[in-house]
Structure formats: C-alpha cells, structure tokens
Chains A and B, each alone.
Chain A
Amino acid sequence: MFKEHTLNTTEIIDLIQKNTQIEVKASENSYDASIIVEPKDVLPVMKFLKLSRDLSFKVLSSHTAVHDGEDFKLFWNLLSYEHNLETTIESSVPVVSPQIQSVCKVWKAADWLERESYDLFGIQYIDHPDLRRIMLPEDWIGFPLRKDYQSPEGYQDIENSRSEIDKRFKP
C-alpha cells in the first residue's frame, strides 16, 4: 500500500536528529541526495534507521566504497518497503587507518558486502564475524581498487607480465 506522501531526505535527517541526538547532514553536491554520517556514529544511526517505526529501513540493498583522495567514501543504500522510501548513507574514513564499525548486527546482508570492500579496498570492519577475502585468492597481496595499487607481474608460479607488443602499444 503506497502512501501519498513519502519522506524526503530533510525529513529523514530531522527524524534521526530528534530521536538519536546525533549530528548528521545532507550531502551538497550529489546526484542522489544522501545523508552524511560521522564514522563513529554509523552504527547507532543504522540501528535507528532500521528499528524506527516511521522509517523501518529493513533492507540493505548495497554497500560500497570509493577511493577519493585521502579518504575512502563509504555508501550504504537502504530501502524501506513499508514506507516506500529509499536513502543513501554516506561516511568517510581516512586511507591511512580505514576502520569503521560493522553493521552486520543490524543487517545480515552486510556480511558479504563488507567482505567485498575489505577485499578490494582493505577497509577494516570492527566486530565483523568473519572478515576475510571473498573474491580474490586468500594469499593475494594488496587491495586492487586503491588508486596507488600496482598490478602484480604474476601470481604464485604463473608469470603474467605485459607482453612486448602490449608495451610498444601507444594509444
């Protein structure tokens, strides 16, 4: 049953601040309006978003990260079927110490999504039940989606350097 009026981002932010007393703000330049949360506040805000009767974001549809300069930007896409809502939560952690609370206790779906960002970005999720690589081999060195990552010349005993033709190629 769809309601006529669904909450917009500003109203969701008001609800968060009224109920949890945590400072959050809307992102300024974004294609889709998102809510920026401090990394230390992520877990309590997420708990509120899921458990609140006015919002009940029971679905975590996606979680991903972007390497942006000195920071990793983290995104959580949330859905509420009951209230016909969707929103994006945004946070950022520094590349030098990428640590953030895991939201596995709030949504079980976060388990593999967080393992994926650990696999590709090396983000450490505190209190994650099983934080290890999900797609790359377990003995892989480095985190491939970081901007300073250098592709390996091989893996185990397999030689995988660029061919001579490839090195000569000038696009």
Chain B
Amino acid sequence: MKSLVNQVDSDGIVLTTIDKLLNLARANSLFYMTFGLACCGIEMMQTGGPRSDFDRFGAIPRATPRQSDLMLVAGTVTLKMASRVKRLYDQMPDPKYVISMGSCSNSGGLFQGSYSVLKGVDRVIPVDVYLPGCPPRPEALLSALIEVQNKIKNEKYLRKN
C-alpha cells in the first residue's frame, strides 16, 4: 500500500471522513497545562526537554487553562489544592482530557495516610489515563500521551452528544 504522501503525489486526492481528519488534527495538537505539583513535575519538565521532546507529538505547554486541551496532574494533590485543581479543570474549554501522573495523583500514593492529602485526583475531576510510577519515567509519560491520542482518534467528536 502506498503511503499517504505518495497518494497525494500521484493524484492529489485523499479520501477520509470528517471525523478522522478532525481527530487527526486534535490528537496532534494537544496543548497541555503545566501543572507540576511535586517531584512528578520535574519529570514532566524533563519530558518536555530535548531528549524526550513532547513537542514532536504536537504537545506544547501552556501556562493557562483557557488555552489547554490536556491537564497533566503531576504530583501530590493536597486537600487545599484539590478545589483549585477542580477550578482549573472547569476553566479548560471542551474537549478536555486528563492524565493522572504518578502514584500520588492516582491514589494518594505514599502520602495517602496523611491528613491533608487527597486520595486520588479522580475524586475531584474525571481522569482519562492513569500513569503509574513514582515518578514515571519520561518514556512512560510519552506512552500516556500516545494513549490519550489513541483515545481521541477513536472518538466521534461531532456526534458526541
């Protein structure tokens, strides 16, 4: 089978559905909100660096929730922070996705016995991908991003409710 580029080269026509084209665009332009709460935040920055390079998947860090599609909850969420997490999530425009990065964000992790730590970020916001690890390596975070991309590519967004 010829590749997409070769098809364009030969006759200039590519047949696809609107859903697929839209999802291809959405999946490869995931702007993520920089939201490092603890040591996972350092690993997230490392993933944005030249060795792992988040940018090659179209993921660009944004400093505001209003321009973001993806929230990376990277670190321990305290009860004081939990209401802020929810507010930031509410400020993001639809469609929005959440990666819960690391054990603390998934379940409270090492600190779940503490009086001030939220036992899993899914108690305040819906989570698409849970990424285990303490902290996860950059490769694991890339894998989680690709997982979100796969989820987006299989959506029928125009017919979503």
Interface residues, chain A, with chain B CB atoms under 8 Å away: 136-137, 144, 149, 151-152, 155-156, 158-163, 166
Contact = CB atoms under 8 A, between A and B. Distances in A.
Given A136-B80, A137-B80, A166-B112, A158 B124 contact: yes
Contacts of B120: 163
Interface residues of B, number: 15
Contacts of B113: 151
A160 to B, nearest CB: 6
Contacts of B79: 137, 155, 158, 160
Interface of A is mostly: loop
Given A137-B80, A155-B82, A162 B119 contact: yes
A158 B83 contact: yes
Going nearest first, the 8 A-B pairs with the smallest beta carbon separation are A155-B79, A151-B115, A144-B115, A158-B82, A137-B80, A160-B119, A160-B118, A158-B124
Interface string B84-118: 00000000000000000000000100001111101
Contacts of B116: 136, 144
Contact of B115 (A137, A152, A156, A161): A152
Interface of B: 79-80, 82-83, 107, 112-116, 118-120, 123-124
B115 A159 contact: no
B83 A156 contact: yes
A14 to B, nearest CB: 44
A161 B79 CA distance: 12
A152 B78 CA distance: 13
Contacts of B115: 144, 149, 151-152
A170 B91 CA distance: 41
A57 to B, nearest CB: 34
B107 to A, nearest CB: 7
A64 to B, nearest CB: 18
Contacts of B82: 155, 158
A144 B124 CA distance: 23
B83 A160 contact: no
B123 A159 contact: yes
